[in-house]
Structure 1
Amino acid sequence: MDGTRIETRPLPLAGLRVVEVGIALAGPFAGSLLADMGAEVVKVERRDGGDPMRLLGRKKNGVQVWWGVAARNKRVVTLNLKAPEGKALFEQLIADADVVVENYRPGVMDRLGIGWAALSKINPRLVMLSVSGFGQTGPDSGRPGFGKIAEALSGMVTLTGEPDETPQHVGFSLADTSAGLMGFFAISAALYARDCAGGTGTHIDLALYEPLFRMADCQLALRHLSGRSPAREASNDPYGWGAGDGGDTWLPSFACADGRWVMLLVRAETRLRLAALAGLPADSTRRELAAALVHWFRERPPESARAELAALGVEVALVHDGATLAEDPYFGERGDVLATEDPVVGPLIVPGYTPRGYDRGALRDFRDAQVGENNAEILGGRLGVDGSRLADMERTGVV
């Protein structure tokens, strides 16, 4: 290491074989994280349109740009899992796989004859991640799962927003991506247990709401101590820092003179200085302080406001959006955003790879994978399906 950059190493999951049988969004996000770390991910889709993620979001020159990131390091094949030949090919894929990822409603894979009981007999070393709305067990296990429903179940929504206003969701698929991240973690732990601790394959049962429920881990214990459920405190923790007006607190975002937004952390020791700046008495509340600062920020660009408040010891952060993230040199230098180019889309900015420290030269930053694009490579090259048989399967709807 040179003191400023981390020395790169080979991708840790290179050689790991993953079969992804999932649709938007939790399962495929887990698959994407595995692919980012070097795993060979084969995504199995239906012939008639594939993963609905292909249809989500905006297009440029006919290419759905979100899909181009979600599929960037995956191989995609089509299989009709209801057809005997399609199911047989899927079982061949599983025979030498390390991991299978699926996020269908509980019972779907079993009815197709490719649930955990069947697949673990084919490959006892298999690690299988099943993400579903309510988990594989319990009275609600058969209900369909949706991200916003899961966020509400987790207790997270009631913690966010002003106390006398509607509870707030966040503006992206937090439950799905959190479940994908937790799934990646669980798969990694299961692989360690299998390969390094003398274990076997295992089936991981993950409900969509459970990662957020675990992350908001203070809810139950502190409710027991206080005897009440948490009350929303805007963007602050109802039980810890930021609660009330005596400690550290995040104030709401403020619009600056140029239309950009900032937010600031007010510590107990800087509250008096900020109140004086706003022309308020020392005992002013968080809401009074926020209301008074609205006009102060509107008269200044973010850089000026940040410099003045830094002199008072107040932490200020620019509220970034997609445009500023792409343009800010800090994120480019860190590798959090990458400039790439697609022959159809043209130049575009995509998310980088996290965590860093690995040699990712072999990975693709963007790929508009077409439905069945890798059928010949995977079904033909790996599973031995010759060209004429593959053509027949395409005609009969097996692949």
Structure 2
Amino acid sequence: MPPSSNAPEPRPGPLAGLRIVELPAFVAAPLAGMTLAQLGAEVIRIDPLRGGMDQHRWPRTGDGASLYWASLNKGKRSVALPLDTPEGQRAAADIICAAGEGGGIVVTNLPARGLLSYDLLSARRPDLIMMRLLGNHDGSPAVDYSVNCASGFPHATGATEAPVNHVLPAWDIAAGLYLTTGLLAAERRRQATGEGQEVTLALSDVMLATVGNLGYLADVQINGVSREPVGNALYGAFGRDFATSDGRSVMVVAITTRQFDALGRATGLTGKLRLAGELVDADLTTEGGRYAARHALAAVLEPWFAARTLAEVRAAFAGSGALWGPYQTFRQLVAEDERCSPDNPMFSWIEQPGIGTYLAPGSPLSFSRDPVPPARPAPALGADTQDVLAAAGQAR
């Protein structure tokens, strides 16, 4: 058994004192647990003896260690149990239901059955909180890609009516953060009443809520229209990509009139941009007018960017108030972006067992009164099994 990796010494952070058990896989549930661990909670991940379904997901190192798994499980403790046996399930239940204020909280996106069902766990610990992620609200399975394809966004992405998938697992990420919100809401109620509860969240409902909250469901029902694909243009305002003379690309955004005026000053094209708006009879003082004139405005701006390198664009825009950013590969992000560096207090160097040393993010939140702990490495699978079982009264 490897040594304990993240022993429960007192940890700083606004969630210090909370003890959360995970039974997770893939993105949403592990992200929820890591988010809470980064704010000071003790988070114990329980996996089968050979690891969960996400133990070896890409990206991986050359010798097969999962960078994905290590990155989503930073700062946790790891327990490995034979969860396919009654003995393993009983040990997991003991860990979940262990006595202590701040404990009795479980997060899972796996089927909660048998000894790990909410009914049996809450019978042992009435103040138990179970935060459970479903695929669809009826309990049928779904994953990010099977939800995203139905969301309407792939048909609004790209430049044609053919659907285009994006590679960001947006619904998993949003669901993970919803899980943390639901858990903290249930824990707040438990503090007030002493009562636990089961809280469920469906991945497809996260998608539907988001589409509705952004106005696209109402747009269909009220206006009878569906957002069209507009390539890299910003829908409803002015913004799009431009190529530079050295083969790079930048995104320029001007949502407000002040931002649009700053773009004109930074490029020296204020007069020509106004003339372009007049030629297409667009009111450039409104978002909708700038969107309607987007092609004319882009025609004015394209030669300016094409005549300059990325460095020259950066110099011209520095301190101007104009909104822009360079398109970057992951490699360029690491090599070129000063925000992705040790100068950003969110980052710290970690030594990840079996992988090596690299710069890793902690919590993006910063509290004026509660210091947030720096990034901590992910545990080796099962590194904390004996310590956690002993604390739960199950040492063997």
Q: TM-score scaled by structure 1? A: 0.78
Could you say if the C-alpha distance between residues 40 and 51 of structure 1 is closer, same or farther in structure 2, counting changes exceeding 3 Å? farther
Where in structure 2 are the equivalents of 1:313-352 lying within 5 Å? 314-326=322-334, 327-332=336-341, 333-342=343-352, 344-352=354-362
Deviation at 1:103?
0.7
User: Which of the numbers 83, 88, 94 marks the counterpart of 1:81?
Assistant: 83
Task: Kindly indicate whether the alpha-carbon contact (under 8 Å) linking 1:335 and 1:353 is maintained by their aligned counterparts in 2.
Answer: no
Q: Which residue of 2 aligns with 1:258?
A: 246
C-alpha deviation, 1:148, in angstroms: 1.4
Aligned to 1:99: 105
Is residue 200 of structure 1 aligned with residue 188 of structure 2?
no
SS in 1 for 2:17: coil
Structure 1 residues 78 and 155: alpha-carbon distance in aligned structure 2, compared to 1, 3 A threshold: same
> How is 1:175-254 mapped onto 2 (pairs within 5 angstroms)?
175-196=171-192, 198=193, 200-216=195-211, 217=213, 218-235=215-232, 242-243=235-236, 248-251=237-240, 253-254=241-242
1:381 to partner: Cα distance: 4.4
* Distance in 2 of aligned mates of 1:122 and 1:322: 48
Q: What is the aligned partner in structure 1 of residue 148 from structure 2? A: 151
Contact 2:366 2:372 in 1 (8 A): no
- State how far apart, in whole Å, the 2-side matches of 1:336 and 1:278 are: 42
CA distance in 2: counterparts of 1:92 and 1:344, whole angstroms: 30
The 2-side partners of 1:264 and 1:324 are apart by: 19
**Per-residue CA distance 1:115-159 (angstroms, 9 max, x = gap):** 222222122211111112112x3xxx32x2111122233444344
Distance 1:379 1:276, change over 3 A: same
Q: CA deviation at 1:75?
A: 1.1
TM-aligned CA deviation for residue 32 of structure 1 = 1.0
Q: 1:54 to 1:377 in 2, by over 3 A?
A: farther
Q: Quickly say closer, same or farther: Cα 1:191–1:49, change in 2 above 3 A.
A: closer
Rounded Cα–Cα distance in structure 2 between residues aligned with 1:80 and 1:25: 22
Deviates more, 1:280-289 or 1:85-94: 280-289
Change (3 A) 1:259 1:351: farther
Task: Read off the aligned partner of 1:383 and give its amino acid letter.
Answer: G
Distance 1:219 1:187 in 2: 28
Alpha carbons 1:156, 1:213 under 8 Å: kept: no
C-alpha separation in 2, matches of 1:342 and 1:370: 9
Matches within 5 A, 1:259-338: 259-266=247-254, 270=261, 273=269, 276=272, 282-283=278-279, 285-290=293-298, 293-308=301-316, 314-326=322-334, 327-332=336-341, 333-338=343-348
Over 3 Å counting, the alpha-carbon distance change for 1:210 and 1:76 in structure 2 is same
Q: Which runs of 5+ in 1 are unaligned?
A: 1-8, 387-399
**Is the partner of 2:119 in helix, strand or coil?**
helix
Aligned partners of 2:35 and 2:363 also within 8 Å: no
Match of 1:373 among 362, 375, 383: 383
8 Å Cα contact 1:50/1:371 also seen in 2: no
- Deviation of the 1:69 alpha carbon: 1.9
Q: Which residue of 2 aligns with 1:3?
A: none
Tell me the equivalent position of 2:6: none
Deviations 1:282-307 (A, max 9, x none): 43642354466445423312232244
The unaligned stretches of length 5 or more in structure 2 are 1-10, 281-292
* 2:112 matched residue in structure 1: 109
The one-letter amino acid paired with 2:338 is P
CA contact (8 A) 2:94 2:392 kept: no
Q: What SS is found at the alignment partner of 2:127?
A: coil
Q: Between Structure 1 and Structure 2, how many residues are aligned?
A: 356
Q: Is the 8 A contact 1:69 1:365 kept in 2?
A: no
Q: Alpha carbons of 1:291 and 1:99: their partners in 2 closer, same or farther (altered >3 Å)?
A: farther
Deviation string 1:19-70 (CA, Å, 9 cap, x unpaired) is: 1111112111111111111111111111233342433212156532222222
Distance 1:194 1:215 in 2: 28
How far the C-alpha of 1:364 sits from its partner, in A, is 4.4
Q: Find the partner of 1:63 among 61, 65, 73.
A: 65
Q: Which residue identity does 1:365 align to in structure 2?
A: R
| Aligned mates of 2:210, 2:230 — CA distance in 1 | 18
The answer to whether the 8 A contact 1:46-1:79 is kept is yes
Q: Label 1:119 to 1:151 Cα distance change in 2 as closer, same or farther (>3 A).
A: same
2:199 alignment partner, SS class:
strand
Instruction: Give the distance between the partners of 2:123 and 2:115, measured in 1 at CA.
Output: 12
CA contact (8 A) 1:15 1:39 kept: yes
CA offsets, 1:141-188, max 9 Å, x none? 32x2111122233444344333x3433333222111111011111111
Q: Is the 8 A contact 1:101 1:130 kept in 2?
A: yes
